[in-house]
Structure 1
């Protein structure tokens, strides 16, 4: 099955929204509609550092990756934070997740990023894929809700 990775376009919103809601459900999270619509607008804006890439097959859009390009203090080059990655459940195992990550890494290289990184839950089954594509480091994430 051919998987095409491409930039999100305005007309992709309904398909992306369905996947986004599945992603939020996977993480047992519920976001205000304003956050979702703002995220989508930022992903489409040329002035934003948020990128959205879609995985598409002949079945339609089956997955997405959302990234944030940002400066860092340990590198003179930008960094790419792969914040969100999701492939619809019935399309897992065909290579869409790998294709999305590889496309993000290729784009990060083109943009002269020093690295692509992400965090996930310890029990995420996608870690089998992540272990093949990246190095697990020993950092622990802390979070203060403001």
Structure 2
């Protein structure tokens, strides 16, 4: 059975291992202090939020999200990072995490939840096409 909950201090090492896996997948290595900063933000629960998914008491999935203003409706929830341990994939972990963010955002009065993924992330996109609507937007980025 999958359980979803806020990350506790005892989850710190497992969370970092999963977040490192996420960053490796997207070829985005981060310095150690960024993990420390993110963890502190998640524990504060004010600007950024995180949930963890456990199977048999083991942390096997994480999701990070935040709320921001929106010019055309109520605030929106951006699901920034989602990662499932490769050994736990196909068991509904990512689906459960997305649903938990959806429920959380609805409780905050958000008008929608949205996220990005790489075009060639076919495995994730199969799930995303089932649980969300692809509105066809293209993302542009200016690194600073």
C-alpha distance in structure 2 between counterparts of 1:128 and 1:142, whole Å: 23
- Please say if 1:110 is aligned against 2:110: no
The list of structure 1 runs, each at least 4 consecutive aligned residues, that deviate by more than 3 angstroms after superposition, is: none
In the other structure, the counterpart of 1:6 is 5
**How do residues 36-115 of structure 1 correspond to structure 2 at under 5 angstroms?**
36-46=35-45, 48-58=46-56, 60-75=58-73, 77-115=74-112
SS at match of 1:119: coil
- With structure 1 as the length reference, what TM-score do the two structures score? 0.94
Please give the per-residue CA displacement for 1:93-140, whole angstroms capped at 9, x wherever unaligned.
000000000111011111110000000000112100000000001211
Number of equivalent positions: 143
Give the Å deviation of 1:60.
Answer: 0.2
C-alpha distance in structure 2 between counterparts of 1:136 and 1:118, whole Å: 10
Tell whether the 8 Å contact from 1:49 to 1:70 is kept in structure 2 after alignment: no
SS at match of 1:85: strand
Give the Å deviation of 1:11.
Answer: 2.0
- With structure 2 as the length reference, what TM-score do the two structures score? 0.96
Unaligned runs of 5+ in 2: none
